[in-house]
Amino acid sequence: MKKIIALDLDGTLLRRDKTVSQYTIDILLKFKEKNNKIVFATARPPRDAYKYVPEVLRDNPIICYNGACIFDGKEMLYKKQMTKQDTLEIMKVAQKFGYHQVSIEIDDTLYSNFDTFEFFGTVPNKIVNLEAMEFEKAYKVIICSKNPIIKEFTNALPISCKGIITDGGTLCQIMNRESSKWMSIKSLIQKIGIGAENIIAFGDDYNDFDMIKNSGIGVAMGNAEESIKQIADIVIDTNNEDGVAKYIAEEILEK
């Protein structure tokens, strides 16, 4: 039976310097040659996902914004967005909790009310008055904070949205409640006709929780958050040690 591997990017497939080793690329290509499938699942927007996925692997589906959309080449297969009303309400809640640095992803463009360099580096960013913007829907709202974001904040969000605290507590990524990496993967396997038991999911952070927990085999990186390691079926070498490629080579290709 063919298998699908679902790969997170940052902290999983990508090494610390945001590159993918040639060894890993070769192993993934060998995996595909055996009539298996690959899907990438990232919190990143499409513009970044396609930049960091190696060119020879860009013909695979890419889940972006933590599951809010799926691209296969230039075709969008799936999307779940938030309304403008919910987006504005999120900002109001953030203000009440003292979180004033906000970014919004709309149509593959990052809009922010502050200079995001400290959090996102040189990522292109349009600094605007978010409350005055004209838009209909957003893929993601990102709350940024130097101090750890508390769980109570996510509990106060609009009921139609959900927030995931990542990056050591410095970011809260907020999406449509029905969007997640796992929900996007489910939509893909229903079209392909493959059961969840044939999925091997690799991840390291809280936004990988559902796909690691629900896949046939959930794999946590050696550098993963402790809670992710606890629900995974196996813990492998770190992203900087080609953990993904070693596992595929030893546990799939050589068996």
Cα–Cα nearest to 131, from 145, 116, 111: 111
In this prediction the pTM is 0.87
Cα gap 28→44, rounded to integer Å: 21
**Spatial contact of 220 and 237, defined as CB atoms under 8 Å apart:** no
Centre a 10 Å sphere on the Cβ of residue 109 and count the other Cβ atoms it contains: 12
Query: Which part of the chain has CATH 3.40.50.1000?
Result: 4-79+179-253
**Contacts for 188 with CB less than 8 Å, ≥ 6 apart:** 4, 39, 61, 70, 77, 78
**Contacts for 33 with CB less than 8 Å, ≥ 6 apart:** none
Query: Which pLDDT score is estimated for 73?
Result: 79
Cα–Cα nearest to 62, from 53, 71, 54: 71
CATH for 82-176 (1.10.10.10, 3.30.413.10, 3.40.50.300, 3.30.1240.10):
3.30.1240.10
Sheet of strand 199-203, all strands in order from the earlier edge strand to the far edge: 75-79, 69-72, 62-64, 37-41, 4-7, 199-203, 217-220, 234-235
Class of domain 4-79+179-253: alpha beta
Query: Which pLDDT score is estimated for 244?
Result: 98
Query: Which pLDDT score is estimated for 1?
Result: 60
Q: Which residue has the tokens 């995001």?
A: 116
Sheet of strand 161-166, all strands in order from the earlier edge strand to the far edge: 126-127, 109-112, 101-106, 140-144, 171-176, 161-166
Query: Which part of the chain has CATH 3.30.1240.10?
Result: 82-176
Cα gap 239→243, rounded to integer Å: 6
Q: Can you give the pLDDT of all 255 residues of the chain as single tens digits?
A: 689 999 999 999 999 999 999 999 999 999 999 999 999 999 999 999 999 999 999 999 999 999 999 998 778 888 999 999 999 999 999 999 999 999 999 999 999 999 999 999 998 999 999 999 999 999 999 999 999 999 999 999 999 999 999 999 999 999 999 999 999 999 999 888 889 999 999 999 999 999 999 999 999 999 999 999 999 999 999 999 999 999 999 999 987
